[in-house]
Each structure stands twice: as C-alpha cells, then as structure tokens.
Structure 1
C-alpha cells in the first residue's frame, strides 16, 4: 500500500477574491479625467450603478490623486445625488484582458467639476485628507455593496482660492443582483 494515493486527494488553491472575480470577468478598473475644483467650487467622481443594471456593485479599491501643492478634504458618500452634470468616463477596462470578447461593465464611472453645494440625500460615510502631490489609496475588499440605483461618490471639497487638479480611480466587481426575499436576520 502506498503512503499517499494521489487519486484520493483533491488539490485546493486559495486565491484572493479580486483575482477570482477578475478570472470570472467581473472585475473592472478605471479612473476619471482630471477634475478641477477650487475657489469655492467642488468636484466629485464616483461609481454609479444604474437602476436597470441587474448587478450589485462591490467597491474593492479607490485612489485619489492630488496634483496640487495644497491638501484637500475628500468626503466618501453612499447613495447621494451629487450636484452638477455628470460626465461618464471612458477610462474603464476589465482587469482580465485575456477574455474574448472582453466583458463590459454595467456600473459607470461618473464625475463633475466646478460644482456648487454638497450632495443631496445619501450618507456621508467618512472623510479623508489628501496630502499635496500624492495619491491616497484605500483597499476595501468589496465590503461596500450597492444595489441597482446605488452609488459610491468621492466628493472633493474646495480648500482655498487655488485651483486644484485631481482624479479618482476605482477597482470594483459586479455580480448578478442578489435576490432578496426578506430580512437577513
């Protein structure tokens, strides 16, 4: 009798969830164009999950790049209505470019610059200070989840009379909408 019978063992490999989602064609990355704000006007960039998308959005990571010599504050909002006319970014790609045909995300990256006021509705979940000439990075591991109609918005607050240039980038995955029939508890 052999000590190890290879037919009786199954190989198990643990891989990080973002890699798994990428292999499945569900992980996407992208960024806004430069967003200008300052002199009392704000800007924003975010992930917008349209009402008819039929997917849940899982925010995995985001970055905020500050090209100026001044720090500024960024507010992270869940499900707000941000001011201004949104522009849809074309700087989006699936993380797995080995697939054919390439998957297309249903979630969009939107942004706006030189807007007045603050977002309406939603919840300002937390704030971050973005140092000058730097990139702030946050890995969220997909724990921020937004159903169709939801959004994850990074609101960039005007710090001074100076004009600031920044951009925000995201990594996210999409999964078919979870069928909810009752309370989770």
Structure 2
C-alpha cells in the first residue's frame, strides 16, 4: 500500500567530516606569505601545534604553489626541527565565517625562507615534485594527526641555479584533547 504522507519517512543526511568540523567552528584555512628559496638555500612552511594548545591538529589538505618556470622537490616532514627563524602567517581564517564570535585557531602557520640546511629530528614521511607554474594539491582527510608540540612541515628543497617563489596553504581542524 503506497504511503500518502511524509510522516512515515525519515530523512538521513551524510555530512562530510570537513563540513561537520567547519559547522562546529573547528576547521581553519590559511597560507604562508611568498617563500623565496634557491641558489643553495631552502624554504619551508608548516602547521605548528604549540605545546600548550590543548588540541590535536588534524591535517586535512595542503597545497604548494610554484610561481617559477622550474620544478622543485617538496619534502613532507612530521615533527621536525626546521632550520632558520620562523615567521608566523596572519593569513588564517576559520572556514565558517557565520559564527559569532569567530573562532581562533590554536595551531599556527609558520614559514621561513632562504635558510641553510635541512630539518633535524622528525621523520621525512614522503616527497612530492611540484611542476612549474602550478599548484600541487593533496587532500588528506584529517588522517595526519599531531598533538601539542607536533608539527607538519613542507620543506622546499633548493634548486641550485634559480631563486623560486612559492607559497604553501593548509586546511586543518583542531579537537580538544581529552
């Protein structure tokens, strides 16, 4: 017998996790300033979870934009001590701008340019080649998780014969530690 009204139906909606985190005010996006590297000097950009943050950092997505005409290699490091003096980016916003007041992330986007050497400690988890005049995009679905004092660093390896300009962007969410 066909149903004639909607009171016998229930609606089920699957919400993707990034949208759910954004609705909760826990999803943030941002990018570094332009990072210069080359002629034997490297650069990096990353997400740094301060030791007193009381949140876990979940890396959802990252991009690396190459403004040069030459490819370069990007190394993805978990929890390293990167070289150089870190600067903190102000180019950060909650993904959900309809909330009042706007949530503020505990995690910082840090970066450095024209640095000597390579990261110490930590693990170089994988590498990527970034083609010229392009943006490499990686969607990680929050599977890379870092506690307070942890970091997710994208290390930009110098080609020896050219100065390159790049930037690194991130989407991440934060959850209070239990």
Please, what TM-score do these two structures have when normalized by structure 2? Answer: 0.96
Could you tell me how far 1:10 is from its partner in structure 2?
3.9
Matched ranges for 1:1-185 at <5 A: 3=3, 6-7=6-7, 9-177=9-177, 179=178
Say which SS state the counterpart of residue 18 (structure 1) adopts.
helix
Q: Distance in 1 between matches of 2:4 and 2:174?
A: 41
Q: Distance in 1 between matches of 2:86 and 2:117?
A: 15
Say which SS state the counterpart of residue 22 (structure 1) adopts.
helix
Q: Distance in 2 between matches of 1:154 and 1:84?
A: 14
Q: Distance in 1 between matches of 2:139 and 2:84?
A: 28
Could you tell me how far 1:15 is from its partner in structure 2?
1.1
Please, what TM-score do these two structures have when normalized by structure 1? Answer: 0.92
* Gapped regions of structure 2 (runs ≥ 5): none
* Gapped regions of structure 1 (runs ≥ 5): 180-185
Q: Distance in 1 between matches of 2:57 and 2:81?
A: 17
Q: Distance in 2 between matches of 1:153 and 1:29?
A: 16
RMSD between superposed Cα atoms in Å: 1.4
